[in-house]
């Protein structure tokens, strides 16, 4: 197995943008507000393949199979904001500025004015939760965060996968730390039940957004990675390479062209 993918979140299209006309003829190169940072991020993503991780890691970034986007694609869920997300990120690596397929889900901001963004995601992927299989790596998208229905679906999915394959999950809400408790997921029993459900399986990592910083922490014995957002001055995304016996996760700062941090572990 040799799988590389990228992870970003909280793109917040709409922040600092004066033109909210869904039929805008503005070019994608005519960026406003946060779009300027997303333009920089996408250019860095397109150029990340074969970039070496720090020398002590002894690895390079492979050719990404796709980009996972962990919610808050838009600032308020407006059709115009969604349109700009699609114009920049595209879907299959040929229809936007990004050169890789995109696998997004929604966050709390995407439903500020209804479920428009959710419906668009469902049209693109079948649901806001779904799975991908890249070689021997099972990727699980859990949406904003798992509720009762999602947990029942996840239990069935993981039972079918078994305990041998490596599993990566991504969702919008954090599992611990800042802003992890001020939402329906953190205040209920869902988080604890998720941890119980995952315990028997070979979870290599969980990725999330919502808190706009970039960091790694441990939760219930699992490595959890928070990817940054230019919404609050964290100009970074995650680059992940997984082989049969090793996983490397790096936070690439595209504003300063450097690694913020890198975590490498045997698996």
- Reported as a single tens digit per residue, the pLDDT across 186-202 is 888 999 999 999 999 99
- Reported as a single tens digit per residue, the pLDDT across 149-190 is 999 999 999 999 999 999 999 999 999 988 888 899 988 899
Give the model's pLDDT for residue 21.
63
Give the model's pLDDT for residue 24.
61
Q: Where are the alpha helices (DSSP H) in 58-206?
A: 79-89, 116-125, 148-161, 184-187, 190-198
Give the model's pLDDT for residue 30.
86
Q: From 256, 237, 259, 255, select the one nearest 37 (Cα to Cα).
A: 255
- Reported as a single tens digit per residue, the pLDDT across 57-115 is 999 999 999 999 999 999 999 999 999 999 999 999 999 999 999 999 999 999 998 99
Token pair in block for residue 252: 């690439």
Q: From 263, 251, 241, select the one nearest 41 (Cα to Cα).
A: 251
Considering its fold, how many domains does the chain have in total?
1
Q: From 226, 246, 242, 245, select the one nearest 234 (Cα to Cα).
A: 226
Token pair in block for residue 263: 């975590």
β-pair partners for 225:
207, 216
- Reported as a single tens digit per residue, the pLDDT across 87-98 is 999 999 999 999
Q: How far apart are CA 196 and CA 190, in angstroms?
A: 10
- Residue 54 pLDDT exceeds 70: yes
Neighbours of 112 (CB within 10 A): 13
CATH number, domain of 225, equals 3.60.21.10
Domain carrying residue 96: 2-266
- Residue 23 pLDDT exceeds 80: no
Q: Quick one: CA dihedral 225, 156, 189, 107, positive or negative?
A: positive
Q: With bands split at pLDDT 50, 70 and 90, how would you rate the model's confidence at 259?
A: very high
pTM to 2 decimals? 0.96
Q: Mean pLDDT over residues 213-225, rounded?
A: 96
- Residue 18 pLDDT exceeds 80: no
Give the model's pLDDT for residue 19.
65
- Residue 28 pLDDT exceeds 90: no
Q: How far apart are CA 234 and CA 40, in angstroms?
A: 13
Q: How far apart are CA 26 and CA 167, in angstroms?
A: 40
Q: Mean pLDDT over residues 231-256, rounded?
A: 96
**Regarding predicted confidence, which is higher, 71 or 17?**
71
DSSP conformational letter for 113? T
């Amino acid at each position: 197995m040799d799988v590389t993918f990228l992870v970003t979140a909280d793109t917040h299209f709409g922040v600092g943008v004066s033109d909210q006309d869904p039929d805008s003829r503005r070019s994608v190169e005519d960026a406003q507000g946060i779009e300027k940072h997303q333009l920089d991020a996408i250019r860095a993503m397109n150029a990340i393949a074969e970039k070496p991780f720090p020398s002590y890691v002894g690895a390079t970034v492979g050719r990404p199979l796709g980009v996972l986007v962990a919610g808050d694609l838009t600032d308020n869920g407006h059709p115009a904001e969604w349109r700009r997300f699609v114009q920049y990120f595209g879907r299959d690596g040929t229809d936007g500025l990004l050169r890789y397929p995109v696998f997004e889900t929604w966050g709390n901001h995407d439903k500020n004015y209804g479920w428009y963004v959710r419906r668009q995601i469902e049209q693109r992927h079948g649901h806001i939760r779904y799975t991908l299989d890249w070689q021997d790596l099972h990727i699980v998208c859990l949406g904003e965060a798992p509720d009762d229905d999602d947990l029942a679906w996840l239990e069935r999915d993981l039972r079918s996968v078994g305990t041998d394959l490596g599993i990566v999950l991504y969702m919008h809400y954090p599992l611990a730390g800042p802003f992890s408790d001020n939402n329906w997921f953190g205040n209920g029993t869902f988080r604890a039940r998720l941890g119980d459900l995952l315990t028997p399986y070979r979870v290599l990592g969980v990725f999330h957004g919502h808190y706009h910083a970039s960091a790694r922490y441990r939760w219930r014995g699992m490595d959890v990675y928070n990817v940054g957002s230019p919404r609050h001055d964290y100009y970074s995304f995650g680059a992940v390479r997984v082989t049969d016996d090793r996983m490397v996760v790096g936070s690439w700062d595209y504003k300063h062209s450097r690694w913020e941090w890198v975590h490498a572990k045997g698996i």
